[in-house]
């Protein structure tokens, strides 16, 4: 049997395991191991498994993952998420759809602390959904805003998705973090515009709330000051060259811990929760990276990625045609494939194509993450939709999916703008490194 045939069997096996809900990491690990064994023998497969597991486990730069996850969990239990929501609501609550807009703003702020779309959706959902229900918001707008706002967690730094992209493509984590800031702000503004348009068309789904006094607005900002300090210290420190990403993660986790202690929000139960959640998320990410580093070499042995790269590069459609084709494939894959699995499966092909076309790998990383965001709310998989459903159990799935479409279109517009003007993503990294 040819190595290419073995490769296709491996791909079908991987898709089959994912369809059976086998965790992404274990599916890649099993297929990569037995695929390598089929081509080079079990000794080579065992060597690859042991070597890659050890190398991933001792890679210093990956320390950013547990530290940033810890920072986000501490921010969640210390009440920063509610402070962010309250501050945003004080300033925009009197707009039509103001609670939904405050939810988006709160998600954007919390994303800068958590780096996780699921954590952002769960945390802000528990805070915002009861408020929107109390003010008689439409279920579709309320749940759609939480599901879409949560996706900002993998775009606005510190982002776990950008960290994984950086490791798989050997790019700078710091540069990718900086590249995510302006697109993250742009997407947040597009979400707010989507809410304004939807509530203009259907005013009854986003009632106007009471207007806060200037004193209340200023007071709400003081409540959110701790979050601002942590974000400026970590992300600003990376931009100014004061910290490496690992050092910034340590500083951020320490500051979040100090805030939690100051607010007396760390009892035994909450501390246990923070530690276990941090360990669980870290273990999941590390397992995915180990699985990826076993699966990707197997794919390289089959020559499938190299053949696909040659096919795409030789297409007579120009650079823009290839880019649009790649992004279209990502959008389709996002409707049925989990985001991290999609990254691991496609990057050996698409990243090489982008490199051969002379395009910026930093820009491409941001574009891919935005497509991953679209997948997080796309039916039928839509992980964030199921997360919101767990918080709003009385809202039908169909209603939640209807609510996400304005935000999905906003993501598409953001992606189009980023393709037309790649400098949006590359400006900050270039000024940061003086290139």
Say how far apart CA 180 and CA 161 lie, in whole Å.
11
In sequence order, what are the residues at sequence separation of 6 or more whose Cβ sits closer than 8 angstroms to the Cβ of residue 91? 102, 212, 217, 220
Token pair, residue 361, equals: 């790998």
What's the CA dihedral at 85, 86, 91, 94 to 10 degrees?
A: 100
pTM value?
0.87
b/e per residue 392-408 (b: at least 16 CB within 10 A): beebeeebbbbbbbbbb
Select from 341, 263, 427, 305 the least CA-distant residue to 21: 341
How confident is the prediction along the chain (435 residues), in pLDDT tens digits per residue?
788 899 899 989 988 888 888 888 899 899 999 999 999 998 999 988 888 888 888 888 888 889 888 888 888 888 887 888 888 888 887 788 888 998 898 888 888 877 778 778 887 888 888 888 888 899 999 999 999 988 888 888 888 889 889 988 989 999 999 999 999 999 999 999 999 999 999 988 888 877 788 788 888 888 788 888 888 899 888 888 888 888 999 999 999 999 999 888 888 888 998 999 899 888 888 888 898 889 888 988 888 888 888 888 888 788 889 899 999 888 888 887 777 778 888 888 899 899 988 899 999 999 999 998 888 888 877 788 888 888 888 888 889 889 999 999 999 999 999 999 999 999 999 887 544
How much is the pLDDT for 178?
Answer: 93
Say how far apart CA 151 and CA 42 lie, in whole Å.
41
What values do phi and psi take at 336, rounded to 5?
A: -140, -5
What values do phi and psi take at 210, rounded to 5?
A: -70, 145
Max CA separation in the chain (angstroms): 75
CB atoms within 10 A of CB 63: 15
Select from 194, 188, 163 the least CA-distant residue to 84: 188
For residue 356, the surrounding DSSP H or E stretch is helix 339-356
In sequence order, what are the residues at sequence separation of 6 or more whose Cβ sits closer than 8 angstroms to the Cβ of residue 48? 32, 33, 36, 294, 297
Contact 274, 73 (CB under 8 A): yes
**204 secondary structure, DSSP code:** G
Distances in whole angstroms, Cα of residue 360 to Cα of each of 257, 363, 422 = 37, 5, 8
């Amino acid at each position: 049997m040819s190595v290419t045939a073995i490769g296709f069997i491996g791909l079908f096996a991987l898709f089959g395991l994912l369809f059976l809900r086998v965790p992404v990491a274990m599916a890649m690990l099993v297929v990569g191991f037995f695929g390598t064994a089929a081509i080079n023998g079990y000794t080579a497969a065992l060597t690859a498994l042991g070597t890659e597991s050890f190398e991933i486990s001792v890679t210093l730069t990956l320390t950013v993952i547990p530290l940033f996850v810890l920072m986000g969990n501490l921010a969640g239990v210390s009440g920063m998420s509610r402070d962010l929501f309250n501050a945003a609501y004080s300033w925009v609550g009197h707009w039509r759809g103001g609670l939904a807009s405050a939810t988006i703003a709160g998600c954007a702020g919390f994303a800068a602390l958590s780096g996780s779309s699921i954590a952002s959706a769960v945390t802000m959902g528990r805070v915002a959904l009861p408020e929107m229900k109390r003010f008689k918001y439409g279920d579709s707008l309320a749940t759609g805003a939480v599901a879409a706002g949560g996706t900002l967690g993998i775009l606005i730094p510190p982002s776990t998705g950008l960290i994984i992209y950086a490791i798989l493509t050997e790019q700078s984590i710091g540069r990718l973090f900086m590249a995510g800031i302006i697109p993250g702000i742009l997407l947040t503004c597009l979400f707010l515009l989507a809410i304004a348009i939807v509530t203009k068309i259907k005013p009854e789904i986003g009632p106007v709330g009471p207007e806060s006094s200037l004193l209340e607005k200023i007071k709400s900002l003081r409540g959110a000051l701790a979050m601002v300090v942590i974000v400026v210290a970590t992300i600003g420190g990376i931009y100014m060259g004061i910290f490496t990403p690992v050092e910034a993660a340590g500083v951020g986790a320490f500051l979040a811990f100090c805030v939690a202690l100051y607010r007396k929000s760390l009892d035994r139960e909450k501390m246990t929760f923070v530690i276990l959640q941090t360990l669980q998320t870290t273990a999941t990410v590390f397992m995915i990276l180990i699985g990826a580093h076993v699966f990707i070499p197997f794919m390289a042995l089959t020559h499938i990625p190299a053949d696909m790269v040659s096919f795409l590069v030789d297409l007579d459609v120009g650079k823009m045609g290839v880019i649009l084709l790649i992004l279209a494939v990502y959008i389709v894959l996002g409707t049925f494939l989990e985001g991290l699995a999609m990254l691991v499966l496609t990057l050996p092909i698409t990243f090489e194509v982008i490199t051969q076309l002379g395009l910026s790998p930093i820009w491409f990383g941001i574009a891919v993450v935005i497509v991953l965001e679209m997948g997080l709310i796309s039916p039928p998989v839509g992980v964030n939709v199921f997360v919101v459903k767990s918080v709003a159990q009385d809202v039908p799935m169909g209603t939640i999916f209807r609510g996400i479409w304005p935000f999905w279109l906003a993501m598409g517009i953001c992606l189009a703008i980023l393709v037309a003007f790649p400098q949006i993503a590359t400006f900050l990294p270039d000024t940061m490194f003086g290139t």
